[in-house]
Chains A and B, each alone.
Chain A
Amino acid sequence: MISFDHVSKRYGTLNALQDVSFSVPKGQVLGLLGQNGAGKTTAMNILTGCLAPTAGGVSIGGNDVILHPREAKRMIGYLPEVTPVYEEMTVRAYLRFACELKEVERKAIPAHVETVAEKTGLFDVLDRKIGNLSKGYRQRTGVAQALCGTPEVIVLDEPTAGLDPRQNSEMRQLILSLAGEHTILFSSHILSEVQAVCDRVIILHHGKVICDRLLHDLHSTEHRLRVVVDCPEEKLLPALRQLQSARRVEPEKNDDPALTQAVLTVDGSGLAERELFTLLSALQTPLLRLAPVEDSLEDIFLRATMDETA
Chain B
Amino acid sequence: MTDTIKSLSSLLTEGKTSSVELCQDYLARIERLNPALNAFVTVDAEKTLLDAAAADALRAAGNAGPLTGVPIAHKDIFCAEGWLTTCGSKMLSNFVSPYDAHVIEQFKAAGMPCLGKTNMDEFAMGSSNETSYYGPVRNPWDPSRVPGGSSGGSAAAVAGRLAPAATGTDTGGSIRQPAALTGITGLKPTYGVVSRYGMIAFASSLDQAGPMATTAEDCGLLLNVMAGFDPRDSTSLERGKEDYTRDLNLPLAGLKIGLPREFFGAGLSGDTARAVEEAITQLKKLGAQTVEVGLPNSNLSVAAYYVLAPAEASSNLSRFDGVRYGYRTPEYKDLTEMYEKTRAEGFGSEVKRRIMIGAYVLSHGYYDAYYLQAQKLRRLIAQDFVEAFKQCDVILGPTAPTTAFKLGEKTADPVEMYLSDIYTIAVNLAGLPGMSLPCGFDAQGLPIGLQLIGDYFAEARMLNVAHQYQMASDWHTRAPTL
**Co-complex (A, B):** no
Give the A-binding residues of B (Cβ under 8 A): none
